[in-house]
Amino acid sequence: AKQRIAAQLPLDSKVTKATVVIDNQHSEAHSRDQAVRLYKRLLASRAQWISRSLFTAGVAVLAAVVGLPFYLWSARLSRSAAL
């Protein structure tokens, strides 16, 4: 266990590379507040990701619904023009 601990990066190095840091050197309530703020931020981020995904899927379906009949119509025209 001591070798694993000794092999870890220094805390300062980890903090500079981390996306999120919850500082637990203060009270339990302070750590909990940080965790709750992070949780809310992640929920908002997830909701934004879901709405973007649904919008993109909707655009793709709309493109398929509009584009496929046009493609079939233009293919039919090009075949009849070739005859």
Average pLDDT over residues 22-31: 91
How many domains would you assign to the chain? 1
Indicate the range of 4-8, 41-45, 75-79 predicted with least confidence: 75-79
Structural domain range at position 74: 1-81
User: Under 8 Å CB-to-CB from 23, ≥6 apart: which residues?
Assistant: 30, 31, 34
The pTM for the full model equals 0.50
The per-residue pLDDT of the chain, averaged, comes to 86
Q: Provide the pLDDT for residue 79.
A: 76
Residue 34 has pLDDT above 80, yes or no: yes
Average pLDDT over residues 19-38: 91
* Whether the Cβ atoms of residue 22 and residue 34 lie closer than 8 Å to each other: yes
